[in-house]
Structure 1
């Protein structure tokens, strides 16, 4: 068989990065056959991993990976508008088939390379003459299911950007006849996407906790594609296919069909334990459950976060750095400043009404105010949807959620002897604790200085851990005293983490109850006090720690507010050379943990799929097909009937927003639905595509506006203003241009023009 002899060029640190050269037993020219790959368990597993490596890291992926996609939509205006690069090119209409500012790191070539990997894997793993490795059937099915869905996801990303693309489901042979290739229609591509997902979902479910194509995975399997991911792909693909940009008369993807598919996806996830994240954080952690959700790292086991279906695995958003306020230490630029149009979309919490119903002028400077909303244009940021406070820094919004977050005394510590059932190694500023048996513990060095009086004292560090520690404990001790001391608290949890994560534990209550060093012998002074750290009760735990310290918060005045008024500490600027200041009068807050800074990045990672999106997808399809209030029957065992309005109200209830009333017309409900989708999914890479598939780009993206605030005595004057025309709202911008080199190449092969209209 020809493909059995087809040679793969192997890049050592790519496909086979997990094996040594000796293990590979490569020929001297560095190549091996597909039979060599799929005849070996570890090499087959590595090829599966190579396919997964093409999953995009969604986040700040533009302008040299320093700007989010929101900056290229009506969600935001970026402060890099005067700097050379993607933002400036987009805002000045310099997009072309040879210069696509929104191509980012993941575009046509990237996804087709991923598809080629998937095709090679799926073709060869199914060929018994090539796939001769001894692999457990459940494990193999798990890989096959994931790669089917991954290929479907790659195609979904392509058609969202370019429309119909060639459907390639086998590895190209050397003799492949490119003249026979063609661009499939959008409908045909969606057929293929759904078929791939259904092929994966048809694989048998197993009782195995570690193998098979599963619903449930462990925290150590972050990045694994699950059944929920397959349903999420189906939901989004069907929704797009039924949308105005892509639906054609006679297509099978009607709103009725989209309702069926999106309801099944939602029902399946609900019956398998997914639910909206509603955990209310402490006041000094985040403003509300919605804010907390977007800074909290998801746990794939869904022990805490039951909403996330899939999250970027490594790329933190870096809001603090690339969209930070000027008063944030280490921030490099203001980045994506939320637009006034987005701010206007956040409703009023007391009434549930939209404050702004539209604009009476073409410049968006004269808002049509809703008198029933309770909105006060002289106090525009009071009483808004809680998602507003979680997503936007506005004038006089608190930069921090607790006093003392900036001014604090630090008491650095390191681990030292004595220790018990612990191996301790030090590498520069990092120390690694490895537990070897039961009752492990290790001392810290002494404080060296007396703790100053303060409201709060916190033990903190950054760490990586191979497992979750569920019963850690700290003890107050005194030099020269007993080995033990007084416990600061039991059952402290340190979550498993593969990248640097901040840990905090508040010692204040324990200090208040017991004092510090209550077991002292001879009244030693407080600077000789230290801690004993008991990581867990067993062996096999490995925790690497840096920046171990006690932080003493010293009662400073209230946290410095973000002043966006002209001349304020974060004041608005129209000077294109000042990239540290907002262009719109607002800064991005979503994903931003106010504790992030140069020492530790605790900002959230973007969710690629989450349950909230599935509720919205279903609501859109349902109101279009049967109206806002008609209940759609369950599509999975154990699920219940649901209407479009009820789906939206579940989203709103999570943030304590009043429910939408019954009886809205389809047209009025559409306004409320699109508004809800805009604020719920803000900055999550949906708006850019939504306004295109709805074919309202010409209404939304010509320009955005901001708010210039002037301080007048004890009050403020608010003045809306228009930013530059972008001219990125014509019909040709509904689709992205295919790279001219690719389009030219395919035209030479097929004789057909492959380029998208207008490019």
Structure 2
């Protein structure tokens, strides 16, 4: 039977259920084949066609989290206490914290897209063992592709779990005769499934690839994803009883990545997101996301400045002596940006910082000042440096630079280990210090002081994650899994800077009030999906 006909039947059926309502994207891929409509036998009976099918799963399923689901006006960090977006065009980050997030209003929902991707992966896994091969290279590739598919299935379920918690668990292609009212599995079952698929993938995948295959999942990527999701499962959002064995499993999973001996911290923190071959990169979206430069560069250099850092994030960066701004004798409120953690100037463009040889003016009346007209101008007194390649430019010559979104990098694994191990123990041991101090040492920050309690270490680890991983979308999910949203999402501040002669006056001010309730720790299941699948139960307080 022609695959177009078969899948058209499936699409009609799947429109009645929550998780497969956008599977027509898969059909369009096959419809565009040179034959004008390829059968399943043709697709999965030819090595090159099967390889192309898997590439489509990567290309259509993986989302760049600098923006929400590819929506240019949304920034994950802009929806946290790390940042602010002056844009109020749909979908501005504002909907996440203004009380309007509902089952019928979630512009960054990924339910349907994720299940459409899972359907494609399940089909691939059902067919791959029958794929004929003609030489050793194809035999090796067949094994590798199966491992990649297990990884991708784990990845898509991980993305669902981050957003919705427990979801329906489907490990095969559904048929017309199946009962399509499928309830949510338990959170434990989802995490077990993800972990098992990660282990299956790790057993089949190589440690590294040659340059032509960069971007494919590796053994390290599978183990790193397992580390991340076990950490999430151990966190307060999913572990209200604080089962310490979950933390220990998360620490062990991170340690598996560390023991591979494949990954190291990139020498330059500034360049780690602009390099396709860094030893720190574990899993990466290898297409150059050129729009990142235009989206977030300051207006004086041709950018839109969609998201700008908050004063809360600025204050989170320690002084060079390792103390906070409230504790360090090095902090001078009249020169608040001097003597800071080196990552500060690599993350945040502040008043008088030079970018491409030009001092940036964020003071009132300055070229990029806080009182500038239009949505492009900062409201916080800052612009974004991280994620932007300083070698790129918009004016007078368009030169996009290199912008590769890194899904997982080694610094996260070290911080995953430090957090999980600290929570598993009565007090931090030397391995916790070693992991977090390695991240700090990369930029010349001093080691943490000895003798920290478990609570003190937790505070340091959480702050380290915040500054190290800022604007890589982690803060959005960390706030939720730690259940601290109601604590940190009350207000966001900026710095009002006025100039008198050659002197500046700095005054912290409130940019806006925010609203957050614990309900938002999980996304609502889309109402349209609830209407189709009557076995689904909505997340709490969204009814």
- TM-score normalized by the length of structure 2: 0.90
| 1:588 alignment partner, one of 384, 407, 416 | 384
| 2:113 alignment partner, one of 110, 115, 118 | 110
In structure 2, the partner of 1:65 is 72
| 1:297 alignment partner, one of 269, 275, 280 | 275
Query: Is 1:147 matched with 2:149?
Result: yes
Cα deviation per residue 1:673-706 (whole Å; 9 max; x = unaligned)? 1111100000001000001101111111122111
Where 1:178 maps in the other structure, the secondary structure is coil
1:710-721 pair list within 5 angstroms: 710-721=498-509
1:318-467 pair list within 5 angstroms: 318-328=291-301, 330-331=302-303, 333-349=304-320, 351-355=321-325, 369-370=326-327, 372-400=328-356
Note if contact 1:319-1:603 (Cα within 8 Å) is conserved in structure 2: no
In structure 1, the partner of 2:15 is none
Higher normalized strand content (fraction of residues) = 1
In structure 2, the partner of 1:168 is 170
CA distance in 1, matches of 2:514, 2:461: 27
Where 1:720 maps in the other structure, the secondary structure is strand
| 2:365 alignment partner, one of 545, 563, 567 | 567
Note if contact 1:120-1:170 (Cα within 8 Å) is conserved in structure 2: yes
Where 1:723 maps in the other structure, the secondary structure is strand
In structure 2, the partner of 1:261 is 253
1:325-724 pair list within 5 angstroms: 325-328=298-301, 330-331=302-303, 333-349=304-320, 351-355=321-325, 369-370=326-327, 372-400=328-356, 559-573=357-371, 578-598=374-394, 599-626=398-425, 629-631=428-430, 643-724=431-512
In structure 2, the partner of 1:48 is 54
In the TM superposition, residue 334 of structure 1 has moved relative to its aligned partner by 2.1
Cα deviation per residue 1:301-359 (whole Å; 9 max; x = unaligned)? xxxx211112222252644311221220x32x22211000000010111x11111xxxx
CA distance in 1, matches of 2:199, 2:187: 18
CA distance in 2, matches of 1:310, 1:228: 8
In structure 2, the partner of 1:462 is none
Note if contact 1:354-1:373 (Cα within 8 Å) is conserved in structure 2: no
In structure 1, the partner of 2:235 is 243
In structure 2, the partner of 1:311 is 284
In the TM superposition, residue 90 of structure 1 has moved relative to its aligned partner by 3.8
In the TM superposition, residue 714 of structure 1 has moved relative to its aligned partner by 2.2
Moved more, 64-73 or 239-248: 64-73
Query: Is 1:119 matched with 2:119?
Result: no
Q: 1:678 to 1:335 in 2, by over 3 A?
A: same
CA distance in 2, matches of 1:673, 1:5: 51
Cα deviation per residue 1:646-665 (whole Å; 9 max; x = unaligned)? 11110000000011111111
CA distance in 2, matches of 1:119, 1:335: 37
CA distance in 2, matches of 1:670, 1:48: 41
| 1:739 alignment partner, one of 491, 502, 526 | 526
Cα deviation per residue 1:481-529 (whole Å; 9 max; x = unaligned)? xxxxxxxxxxxxxxxxxxxxxxxxxxxxxxxxxxxxxxxxxxxxxxxxx
Q: 1:63 to 1:699 in 2, by over 3 A?
A: farther
Note if contact 1:241-1:253 (Cα within 8 Å) is conserved in structure 2: no
Query: Is 1:79 matched with 2:79?
Result: no
In the TM superposition, residue 31 of structure 1 has moved relative to its aligned partner by 5.7
Note if contact 2:286-2:405 (Cα within 8 Å) is conserved in structure 1: no
Cα deviation per residue 1:24-50 (whole Å; 9 max; x = unaligned)? xx6xxx462x33332222322222222
| 1:14 alignment partner, one of 23, 29, 43 | 29
Q: 1:101 to 1:75 in 2, by over 3 A?
A: farther
Q: 1:132 to 1:251 in 2, by over 3 A?
A: farther
Q: 1:743 to 1:668 in 2, by over 3 A?
A: same
| 1:276 alignment partner, one of 234, 249, 265 | 265
In the TM superposition, residue 725 of structure 1 has moved relative to its aligned partner by 1.8
> Which structure 2 segments of 5+ residues have no match?
9-23
Note if contact 2:423-2:454 (Cα within 8 Å) is conserved in structure 1: yes
Note if contact 1:653-1:659 (Cα within 8 Å) is conserved in structure 2: yes
CA distance in 1, matches of 2:339, 2:280: 27
CA distance in 1, matches of 2:271, 2:239: 38
Q: 1:90 to 1:194 in 2, by over 3 A?
A: closer
Note if contact 2:214-2:286 (Cα within 8 Å) is conserved in structure 1: yes
> Which structure 1 segments of 5+ residues have no match?
204-212, 279-288, 300-304, 356-368, 401-558, 632-642
Note if contact 2:158-2:194 (Cα within 8 Å) is conserved in structure 1: yes
CA distance in 2, matches of 1:560, 1:37: 54
CA distance in 2, matches of 1:567, 1:196: 56
In structure 2, the partner of 1:225 is 217
In structure 1, the partner of 2:21 is none
Note if contact 2:54-2:149 (Cα within 8 Å) is conserved in structure 1: yes
Q: 1:85 to 1:145 in 2, by over 3 A?
A: closer
CA distance in 2, matches of 1:4, 1:683: 42
Q: 1:681 to 1:250 in 2, by over 3 A?
A: closer
In structure 2, the partner of 1:408 is none
CA distance in 1, matches of 2:201, 2:415: 24
Where 2:456 maps in the other structure, the secondary structure is helix
In structure 1, the partner of 2:538 is 754
CA distance in 1, matches of 2:149, 2:524: 28
In the TM superposition, residue 251 of structure 1 has moved relative to its aligned partner by 6.1
Q: 1:72 to 1:250 in 2, by over 3 A?
A: closer
In the TM superposition, residue 258 of structure 1 has moved relative to its aligned partner by 1.6
CA distance in 1, matches of 2:103, 2:43: 38
In structure 1, the partner of 2:12 is none
In the TM superposition, residue 69 of structure 1 has moved relative to its aligned partner by 1.2
| Structure number with bigger Rg | 1
